Amino acid sequence: MSLELVSKARELADKLKAEVSAALFGEKVEGEVNKLASLGADKVYILEDPRLKYYTPVPYSKLMIQTIEEYKPQIVLYGATTEGRDLAPRVASHLKVGLTADCTDLQIGDHTQKETEYKDILYQIRPAFGGNIIATIVSPEKKPQMATVREGVMRMAVPDGSRKAETVKIKASLTTEDFISGIIERVMEEKSVNLKGAQIIVSGGMGVGSKENFALIRELAQTLGAEVGASRAAVDQGFIGKEHQVGQTGTTVRPKLYIACGISGAIQHRAGMDGSARIIAINNDPEAPIFSVAHYGIVGDLNEVIPKMIKAYKARA
């Protein structure tokens, strides 16, 4: 996630003619500097401390606040991970600045408010009102401008091994009292669904009709060697588990091929899959929004279309 953020930060900084800085806290993290530099970081603030091996709220937020107050960045970006969603609001609250969560895009532009024109501010873009609109949010009067970014929505740049970054070792003012909580044990969840790493995803929506009918989606996925995805509506109806959910409140994906079956294509869903290299949409409604992002569209009953796709693929295999 941090590599995606540095790549996007480099793009934004180039428009602002500014530097990209990264904060690197943890145990034995200095080896990550070259990786961050290769993606566009000009400067990396480092603090190595064995007590920071795992994220805990108090020391990390304290360090982040100290770093921001000392070096005064224009913009601060966080990953919308479990840790980022905990850290970002703590820092924003302390600094009394705005924070936009779960952004799907970031841009630089101008803004006029009450006859005051603000130049080169951060456009924080995300679905709003249940995914029915795309909102552009600005924080023109407070610095730094802060946002969390959904994992997978920003493309990682091609690394440039010739790039170098200046390292700045920051001074810690951490006390024993800052470590009031700690990690006793970490149990890694075993995931059987790998949407992020999938080259092909076959997703089903409300148009599939039932939990039982999802067997057809699974059959097509198995035939193609694909992962099974789903819309939020299908998950909410209990057709399939939440770990299969694609979209703003699920997983953001960029497969080589995404097949949307019976998915109407709400903004919230499209935000999580419209970066796919090729999109095929199957829907019996020719006006379904999913067709606006599809490279190939099939208007028809998925119960008739999918068996024909399976048969055709097996005949060619």
Q: Binding site for FAD, residues?
A: 231-232, 245-249, 262-269, 283
Q: What is the DSSP letter of 12?
A: H
CA 144 to chain centre: 21
Question: Helix/strand/coil (H, E, C) string of 68-93?
Answer: HHHHCCCEEEEECCHHHHHHHHHHHH
Q: How many CB atoms lie within 10 A of CB 34?
A: 16
Distances 137 to 23, 51, 123, 132, 134 between C-alpha atoms, Å: 25, 36, 6, 15, 10
Which residue, among 185, 186, 187, 179, has the nearest Cα to 51 in the 3D structure? 179
Known binding-site positions: 231-232, 245-249, 262-269, 283
The Cα–Cα gap between 246 and 231 comes to: 6
Q: Would you state the structure tokens that stand for residue 213, as one six-digit string?
A: 């009918």
Q: Would you call 309 helix, strand, or coil by DSSP?
A: helix
In which residue are the tokens 């109806």 written? 237
